[in-house]
Amino acid sequence: MIIVMKSGATKREKEEVLGRIKELGYKPHVIHGTTRDVIGAVGDERGKQIVIETIESMHGVESVVPILKAYKLASKEVKKESSIIQITDSLSIGGSQIVVMAGPCAVESEKQIIETAVAVKQAGAHVLRGGAFKPRTSPYSFQGMKEKGLKLLAKARKVTGLPIITEVVNPESADLVAEYADILQIGTRNAQNFELLKKVGQIKKPVMLKRGMSMTIKELLMSAEYIMSEGNQSVILCERGIRTFETATRNTLDLSAIPVLKGETHLPVVADPSHGTGHSKYVAAMSFSAAAAGVDGLMIEVHPDPEHATSDGPQSLTPKDFTALMSKLKLFAEAAGRTI
């Protein structure tokens, strides 16, 4: 339920409401507004009409509204305005800028990651991506450089100033990854790994949650809820393509998920046309379409030598193609009332 406090409610009145909420077995989340505070109380609301009525009669409370959606903290019911998530002091996502995250699928060597970082920065990317821990379909495929890869990402950040996003694959390595990353990425295969979601919910770093390849939009929002209910409200959602009967593309990038999500949640939404299509030749078209559909960010794989990439070479753009994409993207962003 949402408890809307009166605009002149005192600190003591708020504390009393918070105490009461906890006593009743709910987890409170205070959202500070410009004129009044709102308290989101999360818990099972079945049969709690009486609870709602008793809180409504407390001092300083204006109204109590039940949250009907299964996802509560992620829902627009609890927060109407879009969330702007701070990535660094000078970069945020969820505002008017479309944030572009670019880089290789996997960190492979110092030369590869630094060269790519410099190239994507020059082309106008805002965040450097690169996997150090790789969740691969085959146990025989390259599994990533692990901590060595994280150190190389940190070096690339130092050289270019670009913040980094990298994947966390299990709860055990989450703290280590968080020491290096500016944004933690949860991959499609882990999108319903609830222990991992809870773990990153306890870390104070933005999390980009990718949609599971067979997940509904509602399930994606429920996974976001797992992270948020642990205290981390800095969640970014990513549409990266879903499994369909189509084989011409690696996945089917569900562009309609973008306006659906924007209508359901206040969280920023990113699209990943690289994994969404699996072919470099389709990445630009789907990036522009995603911009038109209202995304807050794009994640694009770029490799200096895609033919020799250890993973996802066929969907990786060369720096030259990425540069061309970025200059055209500017026009689509402008048409959508956004900047890049």
Q: Which residues bind ligand PEP (CB under 6 A)?
A: 105, 131, 187-188, 210, 240, 275
DSSP state of 236: E
User: In this structure, how many other beta carbons lie within 10 angstroms of the beta carbon of residue 25?
Assistant: 11
Whole-angstrom Cα distance, residue 292 to residue 337? Answer: 9
User: In this structure, how many other beta carbons lie within 10 angstroms of the beta carbon of residue 142?
Assistant: 15
Residue of the chain from 225, 239, 312, 321 that contacts Mn ion (CB under 5 A): 312
Separation of CA 308 from chain center:
29
- For residue 187, the partner it binds in Mn ion, ligand PEP, none, with Cβ less than 5 to 8 A by kind, is ligand PEP
- For residue 240, the partner it binds in ligand PEP, Mn ion, none, with Cβ less than 5 to 8 A by kind, is ligand PEP
Nearer to Mn ion, 27 or 189 (CB): 189
67-106 positions binding Mn ion, by CB under 5 A: 105
Shortest distance, position 63 Cβ to ligand PEP, whole Å? 41
Shortest distance, position 312 Cβ to Mn ion, whole Å? 4
Shortest distance, position 39 Cβ to ligand PEP, whole Å? 35
Nearer to ligand PEP, 2 or 102 (CB): 102
Nearer to ligand PEP, 148 or 243 (CB): 243
Q: Give SS3 for 298.
A: strand
Q: Identify the CA nearest to 329 among candidates 290, 274, 272.
A: 290
- Total residues binding Mn ion (CB under 5 A): 2
Nearer to Mn ion, 135 or 171 (CB): 135
Whole-angstrom Cα distance, residue 144 to residue 166? Answer: 11
Shortest distance, position 57 Cβ to ligand PEP, whole Å? 48
Nearer to ligand PEP, 89 or 246 (CB): 246
Shortest distance, position 169 Cβ to ligand PEP, whole Å? 9
Shortest distance, position 210 Cβ to ligand PEP, whole Å? 4
Whole-angstrom Cα distance, residue 323 to residue 165? Answer: 20
Whole-angstrom Cα distance, residue 88 to residue 155? Answer: 17
* CB neighbour class for 246 (10 Å; exposed up to 12, middle 13-18, buried from 19): exposed
- For residue 338, the partner it binds in ligand PEP, Mn ion, none, with Cβ less than 5 to 8 A by kind, is none
* CB neighbour class for 194 (10 Å; exposed up to 12, middle 13-18, buried from 19): exposed
